Amino acid sequence: EFEAGISKNGQTREHALLAFTLGVKQLIVGVNKMDSTEPPYSQARFEEITKEVSTYIKKIGYNPATVAFVPISGWHGDNMLEASVKMPWFKGWKVERKDGNANGTTLLEALDAILPPARPTDKPLRLPLQDVYKIGGIGTVPVGRVETGVLKPGTVVTFAPCNLTTEVKSVEMHHESLTEAVPGDNVGFNIKNVSVKEIRRGYVAGDSKNDPPKGADNFNAQ
């Protein structure tokens, strides 16, 4: 299965490339099904996979020294929550980073060692629309995830590229009203005097008074 995943059009390659392209900075590699290697829990097989995946993620742009490689068996629970007695050869994972090195043995410890990303609330508001709904008794409700900045009721937003400006009446997340939405929040917000036909998925909302988004004829992709 590993060979299929790491082959030219394999999913392992695809997922790693997507993660890097979409800005995922921290990575954990869980080498699963260690109970199914030949022989079971083979150190040689784990090291072979670690070497090959390291080579590939380095080509993409990751530094393998910052990535935890953990041999696991999801079926039997080896190295998931507690250190496995079936892989005494595994001396643990370690990662190097500017904010302090980390080490451990299990997948859970590797997850706990992930540094929470900073929420860029100080940057201008950017909220790409995932959808736009017309809700009876409320009106037009765009939904999307706040990427940067802060969205509050009363904010006058501009949508790009249509250059349409309106006021936000209310902001909700999981059917609860918010006084403000910050990066990472998936929200719906009610806007004044705009029909669902005027804005659509893919448009970007920003604060009209703080570097609002604008349409572009071209841009440089990564």
* Cα–Cα distance for residue pair 194/141, rounded to 1 Å: 9
Give, in order, the Cα–Cα distances in Å from 74 to each of 22, 84, 90.
27, 12, 17
| Annotated domain spans of the chain | 2-112, 127-207
Residue 10: per-residue pLDDT: 80
- The predicted model gives 95-113 an average pLDDT of 95
* Cα–Cα distance for residue pair 57/16, rounded to 1 Å: 7
Q: Which CATH class is domain 2-112?
A: alpha beta
Q: Which residue has the higher pLDDT, 11 or 166?
A: 166
Q: What is the dihedral of CA 192, 198, 199, 204, to 10 degrees?
A: -80
CB burial readout 108-135, b (16+ within 10 A) else e: ebbeebeeeeeeeeeeebbbebeebeee
* Cα–Cα distance for residue pair 188/176, rounded to 1 Å: 10
State yes or no: pLDDT of 118 exceeds 90: no
Give, in order, the Cα–Cα distances in Å from 26 to each of 29, 84, 166.
10, 24, 38
Q: Which CATH architecture has domain 127-207?
A: Beta Barrel (2.40)
Residue indicated by tokens 């980073």: 97
For the chain, the average pLDDT equals 94
Residue 9: per-residue pLDDT: 73
- The predicted model gives 112-131 an average pLDDT of 95
Q: Which two tokens stand for residue 38?
A: 């030949």
Report which of 72, 73, 55 is spatially closest to residue 64, judged by C-alpha positions. 55
Residue indicated by tokens 């990575």: 27
* SS3 of residue 11 by DSSP: helix
Give the model confidence (pLDDT) of 67-85 as tens digits.
Answer: 999 999 999 999 999 999 9
- The predicted model gives 162-191 an average pLDDT of 96
* Cα–Cα distance for residue pair 6/54, rounded to 1 Å: 11
Q: Distance from CA of residue 6 to its chain's centroid? A: 21
Q: What percent of the chain clears pLDDT 70, i.e. is strictly above it?
A: 98
CA-atom Rg of the chain in angstroms: 23
Please tell me if the domain spanning 2-112 has the same topology as the one spanning 127-207. Answer: no
What element of type H or E holds 191? strand 186-191
pLDDT band at 6; cut points 50, 70, 90: confident
* SS3 of residue 204 by DSSP: strand
